[in-house]
Structure 1
């Protein structure tokens, strides 16, 4: 009799376990959704951004265990959080979370992320795995995300740039070579310390309740072209040997662009690297002072791949073929090789301005 009861108990338990496994096999993934987003589309290197995850179980069947796995590029640092294990490598980091999700339950998780590197960070997908309470069966589903976060290079203080004592870059704020013409008016702007009292627009001031001055146009049309050289020596072929040093040069380029555009200078960029997810072609952005020019330059620098396409001297020679005039060229470079200096001298001889900004070795910089 005892044996009969034990047999019946074993059979009943087996049927129940099998039925439970069958139910989870068919229904575990139904009504399960996952999404992830950043609270900002673009931030600067060193900034913190919030990443939000939303997991929903829109069905009557509870999920006794749920494993979330995703792979994210290194360079985004996540703070410590319960139920989150991070396995980091030099290029990617794997995130694994394990938790329980009741029926008709929605979970929202917030992660504070420090953006330690510039770049374009893509999160293509995440995988959710779940199953029955005993773990006899498991079902996995990949959820596409197509999520991007753009991290701009850090903007440095002007004093951190390796400027010569008599550099025009340090004098951009007073427009050493861009002179305002008092007879050309292009609108109004808010009063700034140092503006002449005679430039105040009293009607606009009365209308807005804040001091407004006439916005003058410029009589000169000088332009600035930032030339960012990814070569760390004049004998380098393609592979960059000191990426940290080149990253410093990228920050220099972003800082100069910021200073120049704030001063109303048309600013552009050429670089012998290429953009991620784009053709392997050198970068060239024509000088402009348009409202979105700074964002364009920052976005380009953020997407820049440290992979040399051609020598910087070749890019300057291509510019010489266009016979440029009235343009100031800033060469941000680790070296001043013979070919590069020859091309720069030719630009100078044709009436353009040329200035060098050497990227120091990191040990010297520190």
Structure 2
């Protein structure tokens, strides 16, 4: 009889315990998972911050914190993490009444883009593990990872070609007695432009930047149409990195640069365009626009982008077409605009083992093969 009474008492306690936890277990419980920054450089190590709080008297003996993160982040510590199409992180802990938990997970940014968490969730149970209780939380934190900056050694030939044209055309318009500022020496700068006083002060070679009566600018057209039947996008990513790095080095040399592309913004769905500027302080904002290009969206025809924006550029501006696509119809479109923009360069990103292509005669002098590291 005593045993029966004890079992009935246990059953009543279990029902009461389950009732209390079912109603109140997830009350005053919060989980905030966010990135330590909203803008990061490619390759930078950031933190994913996980903050859980239990702001009530009821303790939670078993609490499972779960979130899903994009694989564009590489956790330096993969404990409790599973990788497939996403990174699935689960942390099990116990939370006392009125307690909090904070964990900082270091992660490296390994791919350009705009990212957020896919799911942020807490699961708990009653003390006797009779019933599982779950709750979803806000996942509004996002991060923009800027395109990779390509080493200047890989861009030296391209920058030399650019400067040989731009500097030559600016010579007659440059006032040698008017200075617009001082900047760091670049490999293509003439020795006569070195400012020895500024060099002695800084410890690095510095050069005078002459003012011009007319500022010549560079206009970049970035084509993100697929370049092979497999519809791979590795060279499209390389093209975006090339465009960003090219603009960065132009800004460092005081040359304004604008960019138009048929790639669409992941937030607005509109093709990305960047106004002309030579201000280095603008580069993070401009890089952010390139970072938000979504290659999963269908791009606009490149011919339409050319037709729309070429008319708004000056005929004497230096026009650079960055495109891994190289078929005959594409080359014919470039030939069509040569009379309008004779100062034109087609940069074709490819891998070193990629065979040479047939270039139309009229484009031979306008063609530059830029070989990227890696392979398809």
TM-score interval w.r.t. the shorter chain? 0.7 to 0.9
* C-alpha contact 2:194 2:206 (8 A) present in aligned 1: no
The structure 1 residue matched to 2:112, chosen from 109, 113, 118, is 118
* C-alpha contact 1:254 1:298 (8 A) present in aligned 2: yes
Q: Give deviations 1:239-266, integer Å, cap 9, x for gaps.
A: x712112111111111111111111111
Report the Cα distance in structure 1 between the residues aligned to 2:67 and 2:195, rounded to whole angstroms.
Answer: 60
Unpaired runs of at least 5, structure 2: 355-372
> Does the residue aligned with 2:139 lie in a helix, a strand or coil?
strand
| 1:23 corresponds to | 20
The structure 1 residue matched to 2:138, chosen from 107, 128, 144, is 144
CA offset at residue 296 of structure 1?
2.9
CA offset at residue 176 of structure 1?
5.3
* C-alpha contact 2:116 2:142 (8 A) present in aligned 1: yes
| 1:294 corresponds to | 283
| 1:254 corresponds to | 244
Distance 1:323 1:191, change over 3 A: closer
Report the Cα distance in structure 2 between the residues aligned to 1:256 and 1:286, rounded to whole angstroms.
Answer: 15
Write the mapping of 1:299-338 to structure 2, written as runs, cut at 5 A. Answer: 299-306=288-295, 307-322=297-312, 324-338=314-328
> Does the residue aligned with 2:215 lie in a helix, a strand or coil?
coil
Q: Give deviations 1:316-352, integer Å, cap 9, x for gaps.
A: 2333444732221111112333443344344442355
Write the mapping of 1:37-56 to structure 2, written as runs, cut at 5 A. Answer: 37-56=34-53
Distance 1:269 1:132, change over 3 A: same
CA offset at residue 314 of structure 1?
3.0
| 1:169 corresponds to | 162
| 1:85 corresponds to | 81
CA offset at residue 30 of structure 1?
2.1
CA offset at residue 145 of structure 1?
2.8
Q: How many residues align?
A: 347
Given the two structures, how large is their TM-score scaled by the length of structure 2?
Answer: 0.80
Report the Cα distance in structure 2 between the residues aligned to 1:356 and 1:11, rounded to whole angstroms.
Answer: 84
Report the Cα distance in structure 2 between the residues aligned to 1:199 and 1:331, rounded to whole angstroms.
Answer: 39
Report the Cα distance in structure 2 between the residues aligned to 1:351 and 1:66, rounded to whole angstroms.
Answer: 65
Report the Cα distance in structure 1 between the residues aligned to 2:207 and 2:346, rounded to whole angstroms.
Answer: 36
CA offset at residue 15 of structure 1?
1.7
Report the Cα distance in structure 1 between the residues aligned to 2:18 and 2:154, rounded to whole angstroms.
Answer: 64
Report the Cα distance in structure 2 between the residues aligned to 1:16 and 1:326, rounded to whole angstroms.
Answer: 86
Distance 1:323 1:123, change over 3 A: closer
RMSD, aligned α-carbons: 3.3
Distance 1:288 1:86, change over 3 A: same
CA offset at residue 119 of structure 1?
0.6
Report the Cα distance in structure 2 between the residues aligned to 1:189 and 1:167, rounded to whole angstroms.
Answer: 20
> Does the residue aligned with 2:88 lie in a helix, a strand or coil?
strand
Distance 1:42 1:106, change over 3 A: same
The question of 1:58 aligning with 2:47 is answered: no
The question of 1:266 aligning with 2:256 is answered: yes
Q: Give deviations 1:217-242, integer Å, cap 9, x for gaps.
A: 33332111121111243x87xxx712
Report the Cα distance in structure 2 between the residues aligned to 1:332 and 1:259, rounded to whole angstroms.
Answer: 16
Given the two structures, how large is their TM-score scaled by the length of structure 1?
Answer: 0.82
